[in-house]
Amino acid sequence: MNSTDPHGAAVTTDEVASAIAAVRATSPLVHCITNTVVANFTANVLLAAGAAPAMVNDPAESGVLAGVAGALLINLGTVTSAQAEGMDVAIGAAVAAGVPWVMDPVAIGALPLRTDLARSWARRSPAVIRGNASEIGALAGGLGGRGVDSTASPEEVAQTARTLAAELGTVVAVSGPVDYITDGHRTARVDAGHPLLTRVTGVGCSLGALIGAAVAASGDPFVGAVAGTALVCVAGDLAAADHTGPGSFAVALLDRMSDVRPEDVAARAGLR
């Protein structure tokens, strides 16, 4: 049963609301090894949602923290060979300790360092891989699957993600005007969000961290990925109702992530 099945949703509104409430109730520690552009915003998004951020990069320390965190985020946005060492150690420690980890393969495709890293690390049991259609397509193509080009329809993208998720045994979350989240068997759709979300740097990157928080709090990668996506999209819709400029919208986005009711997130997310 998946989202194309008219008879049922792949995830219930109760599950989504519960995951968001659980982030606030348990304040999971999310260890983020992420890019320098969005580190501040990502930390503030986690705090607004009720989670606790920590960011430790050096390989002498990154594994220590990853092993005790609620979740680990690996974001390749400004990866360097030095930072990749710390990421590699952290992934190893997370996997060894059973800590769920999220990979965000930012801008993979033409850029060689990150593309090689993402393809290699995709085999190390990430709980969730989050990206846009181009990034998910580049990952799928490089792993022997079928990539997507820029003319691919949303349904083609969703099919690529399903195949990738099934092959890797992970959840794949594809961000876009409509978001698709799939574990290869079930596929959920989140049909919410506002164009202003693309005018603030780090929204997508912080979604990766938020998914980590929701996975940690709910114990379920599929539900957690849907819940994190729904929270960003609905908070964006609420913020855009009062603010039209990207500066004030970003401020309101944090406010709404903090005060939106979990059941309202679930109800307004356009889940299918």
Q: Which stretch binds its own copies (CB under 8 A): 9-17, 35-43, 90-98, 170-178?
A: 35-43
Q: Which two structure tokens, joined as six digits, stand for 77?
A: 């946005």
Q: Of 4, 120, 153, 248, which one interacts with its own copies (CB under 8 A)? A: 248
* Amino acid letter, residue 262: P
Secondary structure element (H or E) that encloses residue 80, with its range: none
Q: How far does the chain reach from its first CA to its final CA, in angstroms?
A: 11
Residue 117 binding its own copies, by CB under 8 A: no
Name the minimum Å distance from CB 138 to its own copies. 14
- Name every residue whose Cβ is closer than 8 Å to that of residue 149 and which is 6 or more positions away in sequence: 137
- C-alpha distances in Å from residue 39, one per residue of 14, 46, 78, 245: 31, 11, 11, 22
Crossing angle, helix 203-218 and helix 221-242, to 10 degrees? 130
CB of 244 to its own copies, least distance (A): 7
We find the least distance from the C-beta atom of residue 222 to its own copies, in angstroms, to be: 28
Bridge partners (DSSP) of residue 102 are: 73, 128
Contact 154, 4 (CB under 8 A): no
Q: Is 44 in the site for its own copies (CB under 8 A)?
A: yes
Which residues make beta-bridge pairs with 171?
A: 128
Note whether 244 binds its own copies by CB under 8 A.
yes
149 binds its own copies (CB under 8 A): no
- Residue of the chain from 6, 7, 81, 151 that contacts its own copies (CB under 8 A): 81
Interface residue with its own copies among 114, 162, 194, 272 (CB under 8 A) is 114
b/e map 215-234, b = 16+ CB within 10 Å: bbbbebbbbbbbbbbbbbbb
How many residues interact with its own copies (rule CB under 8 A)?
54
107 binds its own copies (CB under 8 A): yes
> Can residue 272 be called a binding residue for its own copies (CB under 8 A)?
no
Q: Which two tokens stand for residue 225?
A: 């990925």
Residues belonging to the binding site for substrate are 55, 202
Site string for its own copies, 190-229 (x = CB under 8 A): --------xxxxx---------------------------
Based on CB atoms, which residue is closest to its own copies, 38 or 181?
38
Tokens of 154: 């949303």
**Residues annotated in a binding site:** 55, 130, 175, 202
DSSP code for 171: E
- Residues numbered 48 to 67 that lie near its own copies (CB under 8 A) are 48, 53-58, 60-61, 64-65
Residues 151-180 interacting with its own copies (rule: CB under 8 A): none
Alpha-carbon span 191 to 54, nearest angstrom: 31
Q: Return the number of the residue (11 or 260) whose C-beta is nearest its own copies.
A: 260
Integer CA distances (angstroms), 176 to 37, 198, 199, in order:
21, 10, 13
Per CB under 8 A, does 41 bind its own copies? yes
- What residues make contact with its own copies under the rule CB under 8 A? 35-41, 43-44, 47-48, 53-58, 60-61, 64-65, 68, 77-82, 86, 107, 110-114, 198-202, 244-248, 250-256, 258-259
